[in-house]
Amino acid sequence: MAVIFNTTVRCPYPTCGHTGDVITNNHCRTAHKMERKELFGEFGKPQGIGYDPTAVNKNLERHTPVQRLNNGYPSNSPYAKDRRTARNKGW
């Protein structure tokens, strides 16, 4: 399984560490109380972050998918169909 990441950038503010596809004006205003243009002028432009696809795939090897919530009975069983019918009739 190959994982493909888009280019990600890190906020240039010294202690921030925020990453994303873009650094938005909203982030700059709420986290640093300045406009994006001011932030980039004072601390420089965001730096691109590279990911090693091999390391990412190795990280995902032991990942277990989330279990289904309704695993008590299959949704096509007679019991499930009766429950749906009763719910639709408002019993």
Give the pLDDT confidence of 29-59 residue by residue, as tens digits: 999 999 999 999 999 998 888 777 777 777 7
Please indicate, yes or no, if residue 77 is contained in any of the structural domains. Answer: no
* Mean pLDDT of the region 66-90: 74
Please indicate, yes or no, if residue 72 is contained in any of the structural domains. Answer: no
* 91, amino acid identity: W
Between CA 29 and CA 38 the distance in angstroms is 10
Please indicate, yes or no, if residue 83 is contained in any of the structural domains. Answer: no
**pTM score over 0.85:** no
Q: How many domains does the chain have?
A: 1
Query: Vertex 37, ends 36 and 38: CA angle to 5°?
Result: 90
Measured CA to CA in angstroms, residue 36 lies from 7, 10, 31, 33, 72 at distances of 19, 13, 11, 10, 51
Please indicate, yes or no, if residue 7 is contained in any of the structural domains. Answer: yes
Please indicate, yes or no, if residue 69 is contained in any of the structural domains. Answer: no
